[in-house]
Chain A
Amino acid sequence: MAVFEKRHLWLAVLAVLALALPLLVANGYYLHMMTMSFIWMIAVYGLNLFAGYTGYLSLAHAGFFAVGAYTLGILTVKVGLPFWGAFALSCAFTSLLGLAIGLVALRTKEHFFAIYTLCVGYIIYLVIDKWDSLTGGVRGFIGIPAPSDIGPLSFQTPVAQYYLVLFFLFAVIFVMYRLVYSLTGRTYIAIRNSEELALTLGISTMKNKLASFVLSVFFTSLAGALYASFIRFLGPDIAYVTVMFDFLTYLLVGGIGTLAGPVVGTLLITFLSQQLQFLQDYRMLIFGPVLTLLIIFYPHGIAGGFIRYQAKRAEARRLEREANQTAAELAASRQGRDGRYVKEG
């Protein structure tokens, strides 16, 4: 990062705002809401990596979110592992599950992949719902401990938990940022744009898709584990398709395949949902058509639309500059010719 660009300034301002938020907002409710939306953002980044950059719509991510959350719960409560060990293990376990599922699922393409993962997600939901002795079934899973202290750091207060989640969000964004602008990220985008072409160029598409899928599952399970330690109560509903569709809405509104998309979309929709609280169960009356209209008329989302707008403006400016230059050259040459003409005359 040799050049300190304007957008980095914006990022810094946003980061400082996020860091200062607990000092600015005394209301515990808003802090809770922000923490929750940060957790969703991490999960949506997971989805974005695979759906947005690699071009495969996985509908099993709510399932992976739930697996991450439930594994943390089971490891801490039933097995009695220390919190951070269980935290790392639950992410590792979910990623391994993702690897196993990815090995099979990624042999399928497009529609088949979407249907396959939809079914995988549903199996996860059914298993959580029916395996009473392990997950508590419909009654839910209670008693998950808050994150334990690391040295002098304690995570018992809401503010501390806010910073913990924020830390992980920053880490995920940083990894995504470095990834997307790396050769690996470019490889994923190449696969998204045309898998055949990528294969022809000598890219091992299977290996790359699998890596992308597992990393995306890892992010989502991280969000799940954070969710479990923050809410400390789990129900099978978090594996249900509605959560999956929430993720998709966040991603699409924000901008699929953009770095800012998950943040923009999640924040906007969370706040809109707060405003539409009176609708509660009926909020999909609004978000359903929004999702559909968006994909028809504005498929790039807010962040994607902004990037396009900027690109268009830059292009217009470049054209204008070129036009001016040509005009100036033309004028200069005409003057020169006129001058010559005068001299000759």
Chain B
Amino acid sequence: MELFIQQLINGLTVGSVYSLVALGLTLVYGILHIPNFAHGALYMMGGYVTLTAMSQAGLPYGLAIVVSMVVVGLLGVLMERLVFYPLRDAPPLHDKIAAIGILLFLEAFAQFVWGADYQTMPTPYGNVVTVFGLTLTVQRILIIASTVVIMMLLYLFLKKTFIGASIIAMAQNREGANLVGINTNKVAMMTFLLSGGLAALAASLASPINLVFPGMGHLVILKAFVIIILGGMGSIPGAIVGGYILGFSESLGATYVSNDYKDIIAFAILVIILTVKPNGLFAKEGH
């Protein structure tokens, strides 16, 4: 039983990271209908920027995360301006290939600048605490707690601010948003800023537990795609719920089925979902 609860906590941690990544992906998909394959590269850059800010500039962990969120967010904006904006009228095939090009570039860039080695990120929250007879590191608690806080902030931002409302409006109906005078360019840039920031946050939180290396975004981005298909492409609550579902099924699967094949679980879920419902669960009609 204790093992089971321990695994549930694990699932909660992993699921939090997945949710953050999937949120960024789903926001961009909702606004621009681009499956941003480069999102995993943004995640990876987030890990490296935090690491560099800590080791080179000597910033504390928390501040390094903020720096990383801003830097990667701006990188996202740059991506939108330089690549996706010129491609807005191109066939859908082109967006995907362009995103793949960015992904390849950023990965090679990271390898060029920081090397191919696996690096560990130090955390001030590495100590272990015992809560209700469960031992866990403070880092894990930090991941879960800050994810919840960020999600609430995001919710407030989207519901209570004008920019947030315009993001939702544009996700619901692009032409309609244009008609009522929403600056779609600004909204698209804002969305990429948010998306990059969320990816950087997720990477910075997860890196002390995992490691930082150029290919760290591969599996995460694939799983994030699984999640947003699970939760409905473009749906924000879907991304959160989907992230936790995947987190739980992975940590439980790793314990009770097979540790070697735990990464396949996500893809097996996806294959089953798309086999039964080709447009994903909760597919919005008319897209």
Q: How far is the CA of A111 from the CA of B96 in the complex (A)?
A: 8
Asked whether B279 is an interface residue with its Cβ less than 8 Å from the other chain, the reply is: yes
Residues of B within 8 A of A284 (CB): 104-105, 107-108
Tell me whether chain A's interface is mostly helix, strand or loop, or mixed.
helix
From 98 to 114 in chain A, residues with beta carbon under 8 angstroms from any chain B beta carbon are: 104-105, 107-112, 114
Residues of B within 8 A of A281 (CB): 108, 111, 116
CB distance from A138 to the nearest CB of B (A): 12
CB distance from B236 to the nearest CB of A (A): 18
User: A253-284 CB contact bits vs B (8 Å, 1 = yes)?
Assistant: 00000000000000000000000000001111
Q: How far is the CA of A123 from the CA of B226 in the complex (A)?
A: 13
Residues of B within 8 A of A295 (CB): 87, 90, 94, 97-98, 101
A292 and B222 contacting across the interface, CB-CB below 8 Å: no
A282 and B111 contacting across the interface, CB-CB below 8 Å: yes
A116 and B97 contacting across the interface, CB-CB below 8 Å: no
Which of B33, B101, B102, B225 contacts A118, CB < 8 Å? B225
CB distance from B170 to the nearest CB of A (A): 18
Asked whether B260 is an interface residue with its Cβ less than 8 Å from the other chain, the reply is: yes
Which of A112, A130, A252, A282 contacts B280, CB < 8 Å? A112
Residues of B within 8 A of A311 (CB): none
Closest chain B residue to A103, Cβ basis: B275
Closest chain B residue to A294, Cβ basis: B101
Q: Pick from B104, B112, B263 the residue with the most CB of A within 10 Å.
A: B104
Which of B92, B108, B261, B267 contacts A119, CB < 8 Å? B267
Residues of A within 8 A of B96 (CB): 57, 111, 114
Tell me whether chain B's interface is mostly helix, strand or loop, or mixed.
helix
A252 and B97 contacting across the interface, CB-CB below 8 Å: yes
A296 and B98 contacting across the interface, CB-CB below 8 Å: yes
Interface size range of chain B in the complex: 35 or more
CB distance from A193 to the nearest CB of B (A): 10
Q: How far is the CA of A130 from the CA of B106 in the complex (A)?
A: 28
User: B49-92 CB contact bits vs A (8 Å, 1 = yes)?
Assistant: 00000000000000000000000000000000001001100101
Tell whether A104 pairs with B275 under 8 Å between CB atoms, given A285-B108, A285-B112. Answer: yes
Tell whether A292 pairs with B92 under 8 Å between CB atoms, given A116-B274, A119-B222, A284-B108. Answer: no
From 209 to 229 in chain B, residues with beta carbon under 8 angstroms from any chain A beta carbon are: 218, 222, 225-226, 229
Residues of A within 8 A of B263 (CB): 126
Tell whether A55 pairs with B222 under 8 Å between CB atoms, given A112-B278, A120-B271, A282-B108. Answer: no
B104 and A288 contacting across the interface, CB-CB below 8 Å: yes
Q: How far is the CA of A109 from the CA of B37 in the complex (A)?
A: 17
Residues of B within 8 A of A110 (CB): 92
Closest chain A residue to B263, Cβ basis: A126
Asked whether A163 is an interface residue with its Cβ less than 8 Å from the other chain, the reply is: no
Q: How far is the CA of A116 from the CA of B279 in the complex (A)?
A: 11
B binding-site residues for A, Cβ under 8 Å: 29, 33, 35, 37, 83, 86-87, 90, 92-94, 96-98, 100-109, 111-112, 116, 218, 222, 225-226, 229, 233, 260-261, 263-264, 267-268, 270-271, 274-275, 278-280
Besides A57-B93, A285-B112, A296-B90, 17 other A-B contacts (C-beta < 8 A): A108-B279, A110-B92, A111-B35, A111-B96, A112-B278, A119-B271, A120-B267, A123-B271, A126-B267, A241-B218, A252-B97, A284-B108, A288-B105, A289-B105, A290-B101, A292-B97, A292-B98
